[in-house]
């Protein structure tokens, strides 16, 4: 071969090599990036080319698929009681992608997951249409309905957990939205999406998992746990040596009580009537670092709590001053918690000190209903001993029997609870948040722990309280779970 031909051959060989490298780079190295690129409509088109698998509650589908006349998208997602279940399912939209379970388990629901490779292969031989698998949740339809209807037109959230397993039984957030309203690709869907995006009440915000609030007096159970665990209190009936007024350390500012009889009150009495001074002093006695340690055992400052939807991190400040720690010990100052976090605190106490990891997917199943992944209960931590957990149960049950939580009482059932009315806004000028945390207990232990927050309401400021607004909602959710146990 002469020299010019050899050069041409080498050049052509280099071009072929470059093409092979580029092709492999696109197909393997950048495959995931290109598949999920927002401008790659082929992914969306393929996602709706066949019926999507369903999200299941109590053995029934709360999602579905309907055939469309669209040239690109063969099927569209539908929802049963969409607004009630939106905080659980999320949405799957032809135009606006997907979120929450719909997004996290998209591979199973579309049938594209590697876990369904065998099913796809068999369908090639049998001629069956491609189908997605199903996501079976831990949710209770009755508990979810009680939570959603209890919140009604109020802005807020409810989380209910099985303390013994960590299974999430209810996850409600209001105001909510209907994922069906923008599941398609039409002008009507676009209009619905834009309206939700502009809504000042943020109906697409999952308040149960993604919003943090000052927990107010519900946080006092964490402070009580720290006082018992770290030896600041060894007798819940003994006087606490708390003056009236109690001056915040390093300041001249008195801690204001909204209850009477707080001077030198015992821990049991202080929780029953919700004495700010006693718990502020206990937080200082325990120390900031020990309070941080206890809060973190319950899940605070953890940014990786996945249900599988990731929850926002609840916060207990690691660097605040002594007076800040005293205020944080009553659930104010920089302390912030999601409703999920306060349900976890309650569940750990109800479960004799063992905190189970919260989760809301029980299992993933193939199109032929074979289980391909089973999620089992997993212990997350042990914030307090069985003895101290049972002392806290005694005190929380006292709150319901003769204290501020009376509206959560259920005939024939042991109920423990704690109210909270959390101040917020500049100079505490805004309507307070109404909180209630509780658990119900039968002969077999506690089947449910609940956290309720009402973010605002039409009630007058002076009428807003955890015991008045939030406790009846918690009671309805607990009753729904207990009825299912029978």
Q: Is 433 left (phi over 0), alpha (psi -120 to 50) or beta?
A: beta
pLDDT digits (tens, 9 = 90+) for 187-232: 999 999 999 999 999 999 999 999 999 999 999 999 999 999 999 9
Task: Round to whole Å and give the CA distance between 300 and 313.
Answer: 7
How many C-beta atoms lie closer than 10 Å to residue 125's C-beta? Answer: 7
Catalytic-labelled residue, pool 217, 266, 314, 329: 217
Q: Nearest Cα to 274, choosing from 286, 285, 258?
A: 258
Question: Residue 485 contacts by C-beta under 8 Å, 6 or more apart in sequence?
Answer: 442, 447
Torsion sign across C-alpha atoms 298, 296, 173, 333: positive
Q: How confident is the model at residue 111 (pLDDT cuts 50, 70, 90)?
A: confident
Question: Residue 257 contacts by C-beta under 8 Å, 6 or more apart in sequence?
Answer: 244, 275, 276, 277
User: 229 or 485: which carries more pLDDT confidence?
Assistant: 229
Question: Residue 429 contacts by C-beta under 8 Å, 6 or more apart in sequence?
Answer: none
Q: How confident is the model at residue 327 (pLDDT cuts 50, 70, 90)?
A: very high
Q: Nearest Cα to 422, choosing from 460, 456, 397?
A: 456
> Residue 324 in contact with residue 317, Cβ under 8 Å?
yes
In eight-state DSSP terms, residue 427 is G
Please report the pLDDT score of residue 240 as a whole number. Answer: 95
DSSP 217-256: GGGHHHHHHHHHHTTS-S-TTSB----SSEEPTTSSPEEP
Please report the pLDDT score of residue 28 as a whole number. Answer: 67
Q: Nearest Cα to 268, choosing from 397, 413, 419?
A: 397
Q: Nearest Cα to 428, choosing from 393, 379, 461, 404?
A: 461
Please report the pLDDT score of residue 456 as a whole number. Answer: 67
DSSP 112-123: -SGGGHHHHHHH
| CA 247 to chain CA centroid, nearest Å | 36
pLDDT digits (tens, 9 = 90+) for 132-158: 899 999 999 999 999 999 999 999 999
Q: How confident is the model at residue 367 (pLDDT cuts 50, 70, 90)?
A: confident
Question: Residue 256 contacts by C-beta under 8 Å, 6 or more apart in sequence?
Answer: 276
Question: Residue 50 contacts by C-beta under 8 Å, 6 or more apart in sequence?
Answer: 74, 75, 111, 129, 130, 131, 132
* For the chain, domain boundaries: 209-361+379-485
Please report the pLDDT score of residue 234 as a whole number. Answer: 94
In eight-state DSSP terms, residue 5 is H
pLDDT, average across residues 81-103? 96
57 has which bridge partners?
A: 60
> Residue 80 in contact with residue 61, Cβ under 8 Å?
yes
Please report the pLDDT score of residue 423 as a whole number. Answer: 67
How many C-beta atoms lie closer than 10 Å to residue 27's C-beta? Answer: 10
CA distances from 352 to 159, 193, 227, 400 (A): 20, 45, 17, 19
- Residue indicated by tokens 């209903």: 369
3-class DSSP state of 16: helix
CA distances from 484 to 217, 350, 481 (A): 31, 19, 5
Encoded tokens for 332: 């104010």
pLDDT digits (tens, 9 = 90+) for 32-73: 666 666 566 777 777 787 889 999 999 999 999 998 887 778
Task: Round to whole Å and give the CA distance between 358 and 364.
Answer: 17
Task: Round to whole Å and give the CA distance between 76 and 63.
Answer: 11
Bridge-based pairing of strands 134-137 and 55-57 is parallel
**CATH code of domain 209-361+379-485:** 3.40.710.10
pTM of the model: 0.89
433 has which bridge partners?
A: 422
Encoded tokens for 123: 């369908």
217 is catalytic: yes
Average pLDDT of the chain, as a whole number: 90
* Percent of the chain whose pLDDT exceeds 90: 73
How many C-beta atoms lie closer than 10 Å to residue 325's C-beta? Answer: 26
50: Cα within 13 Å, side-chain hemisphere: 13
pLDDT digits (tens, 9 = 90+) for 260-311: 999 999 999 999 999 999 999 999 999 999 999 999 999 999 999 999 999 9
> Residue 391 in contact with residue 187, Cβ under 8 Å?
no
Encoded tokens for 449: 């722990």
Bridge-based pairing of strands 92-93 and 254-255 is unpaired
Encoded tokens for 18: 């470059």
Task: Round to whole Å and give the CA distance between 475 and 254.
Answer: 35
CA distances from 119 to 35, 44, 106, 116, 123 (A): 22, 21, 16, 5, 6
């Amino acid at each position: 071969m002469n020299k010019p031909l050899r050069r041409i051959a080498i050049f052509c060989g280099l071009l072929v090599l470059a093409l092979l490298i580029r092709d492999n780079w696109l197909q393997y190295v950048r495959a995931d990036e290109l598949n999920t690129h927002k401008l790659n409509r082929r992914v969306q088109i393929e996602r709706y080319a066949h019926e999507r698998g369903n999200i299941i509650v109590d053995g029934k589908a709360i999602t579905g698929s309907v055939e469309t006349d669209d040239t690109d998208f063969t099927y569209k997602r539908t929802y049963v009681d969409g607004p009630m279940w939106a905080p659980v399912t999320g949405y799957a939209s032809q135009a606006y992608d997907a979120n929450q379970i719909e997004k996290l388990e998209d591979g199973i629901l579309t049938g594209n997951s590697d876990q369904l490779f065998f099913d796809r292969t068999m369908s090639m031989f049998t001629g069956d249409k491609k189908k997605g698998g199903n996501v079976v949740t831990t949710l209770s339809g009755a508990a979810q309905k009680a939570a959603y209807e209890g919140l009604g037109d109020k802005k807020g959230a409810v989380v209910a957990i099985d303390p013994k397993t960590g299974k999430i039984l209810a996850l409600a957030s209001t105001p909510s939205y209907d994922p069906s309203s923008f599941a398609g690709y039409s002008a009507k869907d676009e209009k619905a999406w834009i309206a939700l995006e502009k809504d000042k009440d943020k109906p697409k915000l999952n308040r149960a998992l993604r919003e943090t609030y000052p927990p107010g007096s519900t946080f006092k159970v964490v402070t009580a746990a720290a006082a018992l665990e770290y030896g600041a209190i060894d007798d819940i009936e003994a006087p606490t040596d708390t003056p009236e007024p109690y001056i915040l350390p390093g300041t001249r500012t008195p801690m204001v009580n909204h209850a009477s009889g707080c001077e030198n009150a015992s821990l049991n009495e202080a929780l029953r009537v919700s004495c700010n001074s006693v718990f502020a002093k206990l937080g200082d006695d325990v120390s900031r670092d020990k309070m941080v340690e206890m809060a973190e055992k319950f899940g605070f400052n953890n940014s990786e709590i996945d249900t599988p939807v990731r929850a926002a991190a609840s916060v207990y400040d690691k660097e605040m001053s002594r007076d800040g720690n005293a205020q944080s010990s009553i659930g104010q100052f920089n302390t912030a918690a999601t409703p999920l976090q306060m349900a976890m605190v309650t569940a750990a106490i109800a479960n004799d000190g063992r905190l189970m990891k919260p989760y809301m997917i029980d299992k993933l199943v193939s199109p032929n209903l074979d289980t391909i992944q089973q999620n089992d209960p997993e212990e997350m931590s042990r914030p307090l001993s069985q003895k101290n957990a049972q002392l806290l149960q005694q005190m929380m049950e006292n709150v319901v029997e003769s204290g501020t939580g009376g509206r959560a009482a259920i005939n024939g059932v042991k109920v423990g609870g704690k109210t909270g009315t959390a101040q917020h806004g500049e100079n505490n000028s805004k309507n307070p948040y109404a909180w209630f945390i509780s658990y119900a207990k039968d002969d077999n232990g506690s089947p449910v722990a609940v956290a309720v927050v009402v973010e605002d309401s039409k009630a007058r400021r002076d009428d807003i309280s955890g015991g008045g607004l939030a406790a009846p909602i918690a009671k309805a959710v607990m009753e729904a779970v207990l009825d299912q146990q029978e």
